[in-house]
Amino acid sequence: MKKLFTISSIFMLLLFSQNTTAQEKQTIKSFTFKSDKSKKNVEEKTTIYEGNVMMKDENISFENAEKVIYDPENGTYTIYHPKNFKILAAKSVHKTGKREDSHVIIYNYKEESVTF
């Protein structure tokens, strides 16, 4: 009985030590962003970037957009007239079907979704 208790104790000790010393895999997200000028709207809590706006992250990339409005509360980037827009990865892609918004793309980085 004592031998069974000792073996069980050693097994449990090894099991718990493996879980406590295991390292969690950390992912480092790359993010590149630039624009000619930026303006912060304090009332709406948004930032407006204008002129040759370029962005690249793990989900999307584009260059030479006329304007991008960043809304951190909703987790969105509203992108106006981007060039070379690419979806690298997304959980969902939606199309609104409205012709007047044909050059506006909304990227939600919290939900990893893109809306045209």
Report pLDDT digits (tens) over 19-78: 544 455 555 567 888 999 999 999 999 999 999 999 999 899 999 999 999 999 999 999
Please return the burial class of 25, using the count of CB atoms within 10 Å of its CB with bins 0-12, 13-18 and 19+: exposed
Q: How many domains does the chain have?
A: 1
For residue 70, tell me if it sits in a domain.
yes
Residue 15 lies in a domain: no
In angstroms, the CA 72 to CA 79 distance is 14
Q: What is the pLDDT of residue 31?
A: 82
Domain that holds residue 89: 32-115
Residue 81 belongs to some domain of the structure: yes
DSSP state, residue 101: G
Q: Region 80-106: what's the mean pLDDT?
A: 84
- pTM value is 0.72
Position 69 in a domain: yes
